[in-house]
Chains A and B, each alone.
Chain A
């Protein structure tokens, strides 16, 4: 992975990212965020924590993490144990930090992961650990959905 990588300033927030394990796949935009990206939406900001956001799911919860997990379940996802590539399944990983919900990454057919970094760029990264740390916490909840 030696394509264009995140700038050093942004990478300070993600010490596990190196020029070898990620590259940028979109221009910077705040038109959509990681949840929207995980549902294949690139023109809305989806966030269960604010009225400023688009939230098209039936379940509304005061707990953002619960609201998000329920939203995935509404769309056919079920919890799973590992991030390994499984034929016929699409997986998402929810990162959780000390203040709860932090980030969502989506697995690609290659086994790599795609992440929309808030209002910054989309990146493709090799492992979930590449984005783990102080900012996004750990990828703690994994869900999968049958696609074939």
Chain B
């Protein structure tokens, strides 16, 4: 695209002529083709950025991956970052393409894990509810074999527990404390089940375990 710029020379003091003269100079810019390409590129970059996972999804990935999978994923990411740093041509589109591909792979693993773990959790939780929902005492409820197996699943069980707490209730508090290392329930709220539930659900939302 041509972009005519008009340079008006400054009249000299002794110039009596009232006729102003203009010096037209044609300045060439990068051309419409460049700007079109730039626009397409920008849109592609924005599109790729939009596809990147949000805070909640990243939290879910971290909580849903096995330790070995997290390690492999981190190594793969680091390798690419190192090669990208050495080659500036990789920025920014290639980096974004890589990140999206990388997250898609992670998402695939996570979905498979979530599905498999969800089945395991549901079976254990059903058995626990069936055997202990009629009990009133923690020593009977939290020593059930299925409850202990759920704790043994590790932090990946936290989102499932929080969903179950929301939907079916039950004394999940000891398991949540054991798995998270936190206790968001204030001492004065002990025994007040609706407040205890909401404290844990809020903690879960704030920490990316549930939406």
Query: Which residues on A are within 8 Å of B, measured CB to CB?
Result: 9-10, 13-14, 29-35, 43-47, 49-55, 64, 99-104, 116-120, 135
Establish whether residues B137 and A64, one from each chain, have CB atoms under 8 Å apart when the complex forms.
yes
The answer to whether A50 and B138 touch across the interface, beta carbons within 8 angstroms, is yes
Candidates A53, A101, A118; contact of B191 at CB < 8 Å: A53
> Would you call B140 an interface residue if the criterion is a C-beta within 8 Å of the partner chain's C-beta atoms?
yes
Chain B residues in 8 Å Cβ range of A116: 136
A54→B136 contact, CB < 8 A: no
- Chain B interfacial residues counted at CB < 8 A: 25
Shortest B161–chain A CB gap in Å is: 14
Separation of A109 and B142 alpha carbons in the complex (Å): 35
How many A-B contacts at CB < 8 Å in the complex? 82
**Chain A nearest CB: distance from B163 CB in Å?**
16
Q: Please tell me if B170 contacts chain A, counting CB pairs below 8 Å.
A: yes
Let me know if A64 and B134 touch, CB within 8 A.
no
Given A43-B192, A99-B140, residue A52 in contact with residue B169 (CB < 8 A):
no
B2 in contact (CB, < 8 A): no
Residues in chain B near residue A100, CB distance under 8 A = 139
7 interchain residue pairs of minimum CB distance: A54-B191, A50-B138, A33-B136, A30-B169, A118-B134, A49-B139, A44-B191
- Contact status A45-B191, CB under 8 Å: yes
- Let me know if B12 is at the binding interface, CB within 8 A: no
Chosen A-B contacts, 28 in total, with CB atoms closer than 8 Å, are A10-B134, A30-B169, A30-B170, A30-B171, A34-B136, A44-B193, A45-B136, A45-B191, A45-B193, A47-B136, A47-B137, A50-B142, A50-B174, A52-B174, A52-B190, A52-B196, A53-B138, A54-B192, A64-B139, A101-B137, A102-B137, A104-B136, A116-B136, A117-B134, A118-B141, A119-B169, A119-B171, A120-B134
User: What 0/1 pattern do residues 54 to 93 of B give for CB contact below 8 A with A?
Assistant: 0000000000000000000000000000000000000000
